[in-house]
Structure 1
Amino acid sequence: MQVLTIANRKGGVGKTTSAWAIAHALANRGCRTLLVDCDPQRNLSLILPQLPIDKHIGLVANGEATLAQVMQPVGSQLWLVQATEAIVAAEKVLGTQMDYIMVLKSALDGLEGKMDYVIFDTSPSPHSPLAAAALTASTATFIPVHPEYLSYEGLTSLLDVVARVKKSFNPNLQVGGLFLTRYSSTYRKRLHHEFVDMLRQHETLGPLLMQTTIRENVALAEAQVNRQSLQEYAPSSNAFEDYENLTTEILERLAACTT
């Protein structure tokens, strides 16, 4: 079972959309996939089919349940641990506990053999206990990046957190890669291209930059409003093609990490 965190310390980079699209792509390939909404904004839960509210991530944060006990089906081969309004209070309490960083790793009990992939969608807040706990529970983190200079600080800040988590709590944690969102090499946005060139030339970040980029596409927002996957809503769209290619590249990188 591979456990992934989609993370960035800057909002608006396509983090939730990417977790949603990658999970659907994996499920469409027959992989048993669990999405876990760890973001108090709850956007992931709002773009998937509505569920009864008695099962949610707050129960996991409070130590009252494991992920297996609160996950609910939202599609073929796809499950969700939703976030409800209770997540805000639960995360505040969680942050006061000495062992908060281990809460999601412990909550994975019972999933081995039942799931192929677990994907955590996390808050961009630098003070989110659940975001740190997700990294502690993960095999790898994949980082969506919008090609603008303001993204750089959030990116380097997140990589510092990953390094600290890896050193102190999760020596197996890998940065699987960085992928560009709302970007194409054909776009006429000079500053974006300069930022991408800077990433490619960076000694540390360059090798992490993935080949696949996610182009701007209205089909993403439309599919989410309709609570449908890209495969259901727009299988001929650029968005569907891009996330299919990204998922293939993620699987290749995960295979390389384990060899």
Structure 2
Amino acid sequence: MGTVLAIANQKGGVAKTTSVASLGAALAELGHRVLVVDLDPQGSLTFSLGIDPEDLHVSVHQVLTGGLPAQEAVLATEDGVDLLPATIELARAEAELLTRTGREQVLRAVLEQLVDDGVEHDWVLLDCPPSLGVLTVAALTAADGVVIPLQCETLSHRGVSQLLDTVHDVRRFTNRGLEVWGVLPTLYDGRSTHARAVLESIPSTFELDVFEPPIPKTIRFAEAPARGRSILATARSTKGAEAYRSVAGALVERAARPR
């Protein structure tokens, strides 16, 4: 099924969805076949890629809880990536999956079924909800690696340790091969002494690799979803777009390492 990456942080507002949309578009620019999966009931990734969740009759909710074949819900987007969309119905999935045997494996089974049905991708990017519930654990169980978007401010550090504890548990019980690929610094203001200090502290605080360059803070990211495209389409030559292209290149290099 290609390389599966979970983009996860239990703290909201760290540019997680922006990172999934932008990295997906950047990988598609490089010629890779990309599937992005919206696992957030708010449907922000779905909306950001030009699809109104309220107009959808089927989504990832029916795929995860109702047995709908994923290929019947996957949509093509103008950014060149395929999307398994979400609607507000997904908010019920946590409760519906909670009592199911093998709930942690449900997303992995969906992705494997896509391959069995002849729908193959080089990359699958999972936009996790801002929590450590059933959907996030299912995403980590399905993933080869996890990338942690981290806003360059002190309070953003607080939830990362809990996420790393969850990753440790997933490794023990449901996915021994899961690796933390690193931290992706986001919303970075290089003019701020505080932001620079936080960025410099990440490697020593978490003992994790840090993707470079940091993703700059810019209004262009807020403008892109209104046009239903990623920043790589709406502001192609900006520092933000170029930063995501650089990180996408780093991901490709990381995926090429022997496992």
SS of the equivalent of 2:214 reads strand
CA contact (8 A) 1:34 1:78 kept: yes
- In structure 1, what is the equivalent of residue 92 of structure 2? 89
Displacement of 1:19 in angstroms is 0.4
Residue 138 of structure 1 pairs with residue 139 of structure 2: no
What corresponds to 2:128 in structure 1? 122
SS in 1 for 2:246: helix
Q: Is the 8 A contact 2:49 2:78 kept in 1?
A: no
Is structure 2 residue 176 aligned with structure 1 residue 171? yes
Is the aligned partner of 1:156 residue 2:161? yes
Matched, 1:37 2:43: no
CA contact (8 A) 2:213 2:243 kept: yes
Query: How large is the Cα RMSD of the aligned pairs?
Result: 1.7
Q: Any conservation in 2 of the 1:58–1:91 contact (CA below 8 Å)? A: no
- Is 1:195 the counterpart of 2:201? The answer is no
Matched ranges for 1:206-217 at <5 A = 206-217=207-218
Say which is worse superposed, 116-125 or 68-77, in terms of deviation: 68-77
Superposition deviation, residue 197 in structure 1: 2.6
Task: Tell me how far apart the structure 2 counterparts of residues 68 and 46 of structure 1 sit (CA, whole Å).
Answer: 19
For normalisation by structure 1, the TM-score amounts to 0.91
CA distance in 1, matches of 2:31, 2:60: 25
Taking structure 2 as the reference length, what is the TM-score of the superposition?
0.91
- CA offset at residue 76 of structure 1? 5.9
CA distance in 2, matches of 1:11, 1:18: 13
Give 1:77 deviation, angstroms. 3.9
Q: Which runs of 5+ in 1 are unaligned?
A: none
Task: Report Cα offsets for 1:190-235 as digits up to 9, x if no partner.
Answer: 2222222322333xx2442222210012111112111123232111
Q: Does 1:64 align with 2:36?
A: no
> Are residues 148 and 76 of structure 1, via their aligned partners in 2, closer, same or farther at CA, if it must alter by over 3 Å?
closer
Aligned residues: 253
Identity %: 32
- In the alignment, structure 2 segments of 5+ residues that lack a partner are none
